[in-house]
Amino acid sequence: MEGLKTMQREALRQYLDGLLKSADFRDYCPNGLQVEGKAGVQRVICGVTASQALLDEAIERQADAILVHHGWFWKGEDGRVTGFRRQRLASLLAHDISLFAYHLPLDAHPTLGNNAQLAKRLGWTIEGNFSEQNIGFVGVPPAPTFAGELAQWVHQALGRAPLLIGDATRTIKRIAWCTGGAQSYFEEALATGADIFVSGEISEQTVHMARETGMLYLAAGHHATERYGVMALAAYLSDACSISCDFVDIDNPV
């Protein structure tokens, strides 16, 4: 592609590892280069999850690498390379495509991360962090607003109807949020003094915790809340490294 340079795979790995400070996190998967492909990288396809649909898109576009938030090799999963896992890996190896994945490092990055980018999209001002590894963020909306109005704005901004647990007429002055499957951070969010916790997912027990503690809960969708970090990272890499980085949104209603 005219005007683009080829970056060495190892140089890209080092650059991303340093940018996202991947060594600082204890995670549920390996961060960084997960599958090694060709040595030179010019075209990168970026997405939320390394699904077969994203792999197929990368192959169609003749990509050299894939960059995602949700990669492979999660702790506790079946480690055998059979069935859909074999097909996914075979697709990468047959086309010599590298897979880069950054999970918690991409949630936590102060400007490019999922939580920072969600705040930017919704107009929230970041005031601090919470949780053991500072994954969660806390801040304020542009102005105090009713919870129902906040839910409507999230729906409009993300294109997905969220689930609000609690009184829609309650005034929201302080928000705690953490994208994706962060319902286990509920009690840590509660300790921040926030009026509402916004996350991607919600569990059965979280509904009762919200009702009993009085802190509202807004479940806005795992995929819907985690598109924006990798989108921002793709744009940043395109400018900083002069390589092609295109975001592909594979629809996921969860």
CA distance 76 to 114: 24
- Domains of the chain in sequence order: 7-107+227-247 (3.40.1390.30), 108-225 (3.40.1390.30)
- Residue 1: pLDDT above 80? no
Q: Does residue 181 contact residue 225 with C-beta atoms inside 8 Å?
A: no
CA angle 70, 29, 21 (to 5 degrees): 85
For residue 237, the model assigns a pLDDT of 97
Q: Label residue 132 by pLDDT band (50, 70, 90).
A: confident
Q: Label residue 96 by pLDDT band (50, 70, 90).
A: very high
For residue 12, the model assigns a pLDDT of 98
Question: To 10 degrees, the CA torsion angle through 72, 138, 238, 93?
Answer: 0
Mean pLDDT over residues 26-30, rounded? Answer: 97
Mean pLDDT over residues 81-105, rounded? Answer: 98
CA distance 98 to 67: 8
For residue 2, the model assigns a pLDDT of 58
According to DSSP, residue 70 is labeled E
CA distance 153 to 198: 13
